[in-house]
Amino acid sequence: MTGGWGKVMGSLFGTDGVRGVANRELSPELAFSIGRAGAYILTRETGTRAIALGRDTRISGDMLEAAVTAGVLSTGVDVWRLGVLPTPAVAYLTRELGAGAGVVISASHNPVEDNGIKFFGANGYKLPDRLEEMIEQLVLKQEAAGIPRPTGAAVGKVREVPDAAERYLAHARRAGPPALGGLKIVVDCANGAACTVAPLILNALGARVVVMNREPDGTNINVACGSTNPASLQERVLAEGADLGLAFDGDADRVIAVDERGNVCNGDRIMVICGKYLKEHNRLPLNTVVVTVMSNLGLHVALREAGIRVLQTRVGDRYVLETMLASGARLGGEQSGHIIFLDHNTTGDGLITALQLLSVMVDTGKSLSQLAAQMQEFPQVLENVRVADKEKVMASPVLAGAIAACEARLNGQGRILVRPSGTEPLIRVMVEGRNEEELLEVVNQLVEAVVQADRG
């Protein structure tokens, strides 16, 4: 099975906003233009002349925040500055504060040299393609004649929102248990946006909290830590004798857990745990969970045996959300730990996901390892291959031939997914089945084909 490209648009917006190397592809000049065009389009849609703006801890955030802010203010629209906060906090506060739109400056789990600009509508949802295309056309084609340039008292103003974190935490707390009963939790904040809010709320709920990677210096976000690098968290959970560990990514829209035995509990297992619990308590509408093609076969088996329907979509949280809204499902997500609980937020929310998982632990009295055992994981091998031209590789007959040969080799006892990253110059090769030794051989064969296709 081959993966799709995702959204087909111009050269600016990808599957998760605008991303690039800060001060190169994502220059302050471009950020100014995006802020200007976004403010014009989005406040024209809603009539509300204010935009909520938050960011993560990476060093280029100051520069890009200033540029986006200047662009917004130049149209006569105000900026409500939220400071360093998780991406889902900005989505929530956009609605809570009544802003005309929200903007997040973050590259999530990407390396520090990258940064990004992502918009939310006034309803807290990511923008539909129609609005992103309108913003893109204004920026790329310089069709900005209709954007106002007010002067004097009509220029936009910046307003600080000093209680932004407290507002978000009060909301998030409603998604968790009344108390955590002294559970010992190791929290890896990835030197990112979770640094303040995650320890605060867990301590307030009565947990014994051990915090890792909570000293952001602008350059250490996601470096050998966080949800994409859980090895140090696994070691720390065992060393501390903790009940579990939680690892967020740079903008805290995703989380993965580590059980008391040091084993990783990824997004698939978290969805199985929470999905089954919600169904048992008649709180899983339509008995449906939405996942992507990257979810392990073990998830499908576990949920099917529990009487839960699984809807599958292509990779990307925007596609998960689209399917959830179309189907009426309220729980969906990705293996990476980017999970959407629509009863609590309009986007993936690492902190709310953690609180939902903790609620199951507290209510059932079971350890995380006991809960995670509800899903048997099939062997899955994933390799990321850096390439010069993703489109050329995906269209290559060399790669197509290799995929066909490998699918014939697996003979229905596994599956292959080859797809381009939506945010990085990578081709992701995933093979799943029962025989791990054979999977490694198949992955190596496909990686060679990707490299050959990129060079050819």
Name the residue among 94, 119, 274, 114 with its Cα closest to residue 192.
114
Same domain, 275 and 401: no
Using CB atoms within 10 A of its CB, is residue 326 exposed (0-12), middle (13-18) or buried (19+)?
exposed
Number of structural domains, the chain?
Answer: 3
Instruction: Say what the pLDDT of residue 294 is.
Output: 86
Same domain, 188 and 330: yes
Instruction: Say what the pLDDT of residue 4 is.
Output: 29
pLDDT digits (tens, 9 = 90+) for 23-33: 999 999 999 99
Q: Please indicate whether residue 60 is annotated as part of the active site.
A: no
**CATH number, residue 41:** 3.40.120.10
Cβ proximity of 332 and 321 under 8 Å:
yes
Same domain, 89 and 237: no
**Which positions of the chain have pLDDT values less than 70?**
1-10, 142-145
Q: Choose, from 108, 227, 295, 421, the residue flagged as catalytic.
A: 108
Q: Could you tell me if residue 169 is inside a domain?
A: no
Same domain, 336 and 393: no
Same domain, 226 and 333: yes
Instruction: Say what the pLDDT of residue 6 is.
Output: 34
Q: Which domain holds residue 434?
A: 380-455
Instruction: Say what the pLDDT of residue 45 is.
Output: 80
Instruction: Say what the pLDDT of residue 145 is.
Output: 64
Name the residue among 242, 140, 232, 154 with its Cα closest to residue 188.
232
Strands 339-341 and 208-212: unpaired
Instruction: Say what the pLDDT of residue 142 is.
Output: 65
264 DSSP β-pair partners = 258
Q: Could you tell me if residue 1 is inside a domain?
A: no
Same domain, 107 and 227: no
